[in-house]
Structure 1
Amino acid sequence: MTDIDEQGRPLPPETGGETETLLGFLDFQRATLAWKCAGLDAAGLAAALPTSAMTLGGMLKHLAYVEQWWFSQWLAGRSPEAPWDTVDWSADADWDWHSAADDTPEQTRTLWEDCVARSRELTAAALAEGGLDTLSRRADSAGRAPSLRWILFHMVEEYARHVGHADLIRESVDGLTGE
C-alpha cells in the first residue's frame, strides 16, 4: 500500500526495488505539479513572474507534451496525437507553453491527466515486455534508442525542474508554499 502525504501525493517507497522507486518518484513529482496547479482558475494558471513568461497552465501543457513525446512517440513509436499532430513547431517552438492561454483550466488539466494516464499504460506495457531495459521503438539519427530506465529518469528530472518553477509561481498567485 502506498503512503499518501497531507497534500494527497503518493510517497515513493523507501525500500522498493529500482522500478518501484523510480516510478514512485515520478508519480510524486507528477502529484506535486497537480497540487501546485489545483484549484486555480484561468487567471491563476496564466499568472507569470515578472522575469518570465512561464505560467502554470503553460507548464501543465508543456508537461503533457513531454509525456506524450517520450512515452507515446519515443517509447511506443506512435505518431503524434491531437493536439500535437497539427502543430507547426517551426513557426512556434514553444507552442505548448504559449497555446495554454487559449485553453480553459479544465481543458489543460484534462489534457495533462490524459497524457499521464497514457504514459502509465505504455510504461506498464514496456515493463511487462522487457523491464527497465526495454528500448524505445524510436531511435535518434545515429540509431540510438533510449531505454525505459533512461526515459523515466529523464521524466523525474523534467518534473523536478518544473515543480521548482511551479513553487515560485504558485506562491506569487495566492501565497501557497510547500515543497
Structure 2
Amino acid sequence: MSDPTRRAELFGGADNDRRFTGPTTGDERLMLVDVLGAQRATLQLKCSGLGPEVSLRSVEPSTLSLLGLVRHLADVERRWFRRVLAAHDAPALFSSPADPDGDFDGATDDPGTVAAAWETWRTEVAFAERFVTEAPDLDVEGEDPWRGTVSLRWVLIHMIEEYARHNGHADLLRERIDGAAGL
C-alpha cells in the first residue's frame, strides 16, 4: 500500500479488510455472530506480527497491555459461555478473587505466557462458537450472580460491546508499540 490517505488504511485499507462484510439484514443470530467474529478478528489483527512486545504496558501505573486484553477476553468468553450459559464449573483462568487483575498483571513477555494466553483465548472462542451454533435459539438462558437471568442474545450483544471497547484500547496500545494505526 502506498501513501495511505486515512489512518484506517494503515492496517491494509478497506479494500483488503473482510472483517466487516457480513450481512446487514436478515437472520439475527447470523448478524450477531458475524459482528462478534469481526470484533474477535480485530483483536487478532491488533496483535498480529508482534513477539514479546505484545506484553508492553500502556503507561504507568496502568498494567494494560495487548496480552492482558487477550487474557482478559479469554476469561470473559469463559465466564459468559461456559460458566453462565452452559452452567459449567469453569473458574476464570487468569484472574481470581485473590488476584482480580491477574489477567493484566500476569501478562509478561515470557514466550510460554504469551503462547498460553493465545491458546486459552482460541479454546474459549471455539467453545463459544460451538455453543452458539448448537443453541436452539437466542432465548437460551443462564444465571449470572451479577446480572441475574441472561439470554444468549444478551450475551452476544454484551460480548460485541466488550470487544469493541477493548479493541479501542488495542488501537492505542498497538500504535504505542510500533506506530501501526488503523482498524
Give TM-score scaled by structure 1 length: 0.84
| Alignment match of 2:145 (pick from 133, 140, 146) | 140
Aligned length: 167
State the AA in 2 paired with 1:115.
Answer: E
Judging changes above 3 Å, is the alpha-carbon distance between structure 1 residues 5 and 75 closer, same or farther for their aligned structure 2 residues? farther
**Retained in 2: the 8 A contact 1:67–1:119?**
yes
* % identity of equivalent residues: 39
State the AA in 2 paired with 1:140.
Answer: P
Aligned partner of 1:173 in structure 2 is 177
State the AA in 1 paired with 2:145.
Answer: D
Any residues of structure 2 matched to 1:61-80 within 5 Å, and which?
61-80=71-90
- Per the TM alignment, residue 8 of structure 1 is displaced from its structure 2 partner at its CA by 5.3
SS at match of 1:146: strand
Aligned partner of 1:53 in structure 2 is 63
**Retained in 1: the 8 A contact 2:95–2:103?**
no
Judging changes above 3 Å, is the alpha-carbon distance between structure 1 residues 141 and 39 closer, same or farther for their aligned structure 2 residues? closer
Greater share of strand residues, 1 or 2?
Answer: 2
| Alignment match of 1:90 (pick from 79, 91, 97) | 97
Aligned partner of 2:8 in structure 1 is none
**Retained in 2: the 8 A contact 1:132–1:147?**
yes
Aligned partner of 2:155 in structure 1 is 151
- Per the TM alignment, residue 10 of structure 1 is displaced from its structure 2 partner at its CA by 5.5
**Retained in 2: the 8 A contact 1:73–1:79?**
yes
- Structure 1 residue runs of 4 or more that deviate by more than 6 Å after TM superposition: none
CA distance in 2, matches of 1:53, 1:167: 16
SS at match of 1:77: coil
CA distance in 2, matches of 1:28, 1:132: 19
- Per the TM alignment, residue 159 of structure 1 is displaced from its structure 2 partner at its CA by 0.2
Judging changes above 3 Å, is the alpha-carbon distance between structure 1 residues 139 and 173 closer, same or farther for their aligned structure 2 residues? closer
**Retained in 2: the 8 A contact 1:55–1:169?**
yes
1:118 aligned onto 2:127: yes
Unaligned 5+ runs, structure 1: none
- Per the TM alignment, residue 175 of structure 1 is displaced from its structure 2 partner at its CA by 1.2
Give TM-score scaled by structure 2 length: 0.82
